[in-house]
Structure 1
Amino acid sequence: MGNRLNRARGGRAAWLGLLALAAAPAAAQTAPPLQVPAKSVPVPADVSPQMGRIIGLPLRTNWDIHPRTGAEWKPVAEAGAAALGKLVPGMLERLRVTVERTTIDGVRAFILTPETIPPENRDRLLVHVHGGCYVLNPGEAGLPEAIFMSGFGRFKVISVDYRMPPEATYPAAHDDAMTVWKAAVRMADPKKMAIFGTSAGGALTLAMVLRAKQEGLPLPAAIAPGTPMSDTTKVGDSFVTNAMLDNVLVSPDGFCDDGAKVYANGHDLRDPMLSPVYGDLRGFPPTILTTGTRDLLLSNTVRVHRKLRDAGVEAYLQVGEGQSHAHYIRDDTAPETKQVFEEIAGFFDKHLGR
């Protein structure tokens, strides 16, 4: 009798447990936050020495600066550009890429050409939009990702040096990128073209497709948004879980949040042009996304991937072990960097016409 009673109680407990699990999504909206103890996070053991050094760096020194105007951002951007610009010649030499400064329909741009272009890429053209929270990496400082794509993938690339505060605010970067895209589709068959960019450049990549759809323009054959700033309203689990772990962006309330707000200049941050995860992603071209396990924008990237998949779009997600925001564009000698860009190049090769 006792055993039967215990089994009955156990069955009822299990049934109540299932009911609790079923109710969990609704309860999660009101549940208190999970308290996680402080802990040390070592560099993963199975990354390359080059990537390990990047992962193991301390938090960015100026992560908590808060310039409130374009004029206040200008010296910050110039200092960063001067430091990064010194690295560009070495990248160009190692990857055997040449760069030419140009202007396309009034928009500043660079043309990057690898030393050798394979036959299948000779009629293909990529358009690049750089990152930097819409306020950083002017001029040659915005070129590393384009150099890596041109060198590792052996594509000709147009990199857009779009306007940023204090020169101009929203929608200047978007307008400049679209001006170059409209010109590019006169230079090459859009079926043989792709758009790519990281961080703000990843968001611009997504926004360019949204605008092309709205304006009835040809779409690229594929896109590669890297760790995109797809939700500038800071919705996403990794804004919490990776805060103070990501050694680049560091905090959802850090410098990048201020940069995006200065560029937006009072415009609604939930507008799909600034937060493209809220846009209509149906009909998007095949997409390859890149992020890292410690990236503050991991959730931004994952949410875009999920929404693309739900819209029936072919979408591929690559995630770097231990990597914070955009670590894969920091060092061209790291094997992880080469792997990322060879993955993207292979994806483009699959989807771009020959």
Structure 2
Amino acid sequence: MDKRATIKDVAEAAGVGVATVSRVLSGGSASPHTRERVLAVAAQLDYRPSALGRNLRQRRTGGMGLLVPDLTDTFYAQLAEGVLACARSAGEPVLLGSTGGDPEQEAELIGMLLEQSVDRLIAVPSGDEETWAPAIRAGMTVVFADHLPAPPSPVSYSGPFSGPSSGPSSGDDPAVRSVHDLMLLDGLSAAPRSRPLDAPSVVADDRAGIRTAVRYLRGLGHKRIAFLGGPGHDRRAAAFGEAVGAPVDEELVVFGTGSRDSAYAAASGLFQSRPDLSAVVAGGNVLGEAAVLAARELDLRVPRDVSLVMYDDVPWAELCSPPLTVIAQPGRDMGYRAAELVLRSGARKPRSVVLPTELIIRGSCGPHR
């Protein structure tokens, strides 16, 4: 018996990415030439994605998937621990995958899970809504954790800060609308999207955490505060822009691409290009680590020369000299709650969850001199 064609086979034969194949087969956007080529190759290889959707709708296979960008990131490891703890208590196996923060790799893993008839999935998304639409339309139950997929087209903000585009889906469900309002922030609006993803999420209250951190630094006399962000930190950047107020010095809002090398380059470039800054809010623990290393390399003393607040409380933060002030979010609890949502899925759609953050003050912040 011949091996059944996979979505990756179609992508390779058509000379496009897996995400492009997913978009075409689910009716998403693509050029006429690309659409024609993908459909022709799918027909030639006898690839039938609709059968996957029927399988998922007709039977529950047991087990769940978990996709995160980076298993070496301490926060994602904590989130995975929470998912595994909940799954163990329910007697459910978990298929764990790392996307590397790459939407193409993420789409490939989604396709593999669909082909294995995995019907429930928890994900920290890297791709946009079009990457995720095929799985949801096929009948897979998806719960997003930490943040939601970006819309397929840029979100335009009308407010004190125009940060990178990303935001949550909004729908008719009140819980989804509440998360939508949280993520878009007061005074900011997103361009309407006609077909938002219908999936619950478990996220932290980024807005409150960032605002509390900026207010704390302001109280110490800091005026030139920078934000160091990465993929998935769009809400945090928007919250930072709101917290510092207009006009926002956009040179003090810097993004890396997600890798440790990129984070270090972003932190080092920020310190060197803006020696007048006196405080930095790092949007994640990889960025916080990069800021500490870059400051050390450039002989900047923390907190005498620069104060530092890091989003995420991880074990090494207390071991730094001085220990880092952090915005703690409950990573393990986030994973556990996401697993509870995906396990409870049924006729009644689960409600989205927003978890609190906490500013933990340590020794990495001091008064502006």
Smaller-chain TM-score bracket? 0.3 to 0.5
TM-score (norm 1): 0.33
TM-score normalised by length of structure 2: 0.32
